[in-house]
Amino acid sequence: MPRILVLNGPNLNLLGTREPHLYGSQTLPDIIGRLEQLASARGATLVAVQSNAEHELIAAVQKAKQDGTDAIIVNAGAFTHSSIALMDAFQAVALPFYEVHLSNVYAREAFRHHSYLSALAAGVIVGLGAQGYEFALEAALTRLASRR
Ligand code: DQA
């Protein structure tokens, strides 16, 4: 059974009330609930972690290597644009991962245009709101199925 980690970084616990014109009206539990439904319909296990702390996100990536996780979907929030340490964690574990951003970061401030993660990612989805996570899950499961 494929195992997928969905990792959300700082301030994504505020979804629903945080700048809804940018990030939409769904809460993080709404988004995770929908992903769990989709995963279980595809016979996959979904594990969700959200943290505002860089070291906890790094620990979750490191743990994924040990616990049989097959792929990671990550929205690292602002750490996307700042965290060499998180990039190193993804490089170290070498698990396929999909980078998601709810907003179109390229239509926003210049500092959001650079991601430390994108060059390592299996795919990047930006600007499609909560549906971006669903597309990432679909892509991850399709790729895993083709490799089994
Ligand atoms: C975000 C975009 C980041 O620039 C921002 O810091 C976030 C959310 C997004 O989902 O659009 O926290 O990752």
Q: For residue range 113-144, list pLDDT tens digits in order.
A: 999 999 999 999 999 999 999 999 999 999 99
| pLDDT of 148 higher than 80 | no
Q: Whose CA is nearest to atom 12 of ligand 1?
A: 77
Contact 100, 7 (CB under 8 A): no
Distance 114 CA to ligand 1 centre (A): 12
Kindly write down the DSSP assignment for every residue of 34-93, as one continuous string: HHHHHHHHTT-EEEEEE-S-HHHHHHHHHHHHHTT--EEEEE-GGGGGT-HHHHHHHHHH
Residue 11: is it exposed, middle or buried by C-beta count within 10 angstroms (0-12/13-18/19+)?
middle
Its pTM surpasses 0.85:
yes
Q: Whose CA is nearest to atom 6 of ligand 1?
A: 78
Q: For residue range 21-64, list pLDDT tens digits in order.
A: 999 999 999 999 999 999 999 999 999 999 999 999 999 999 99
Atom of ligand 1 nearest to the CA of 126: 11
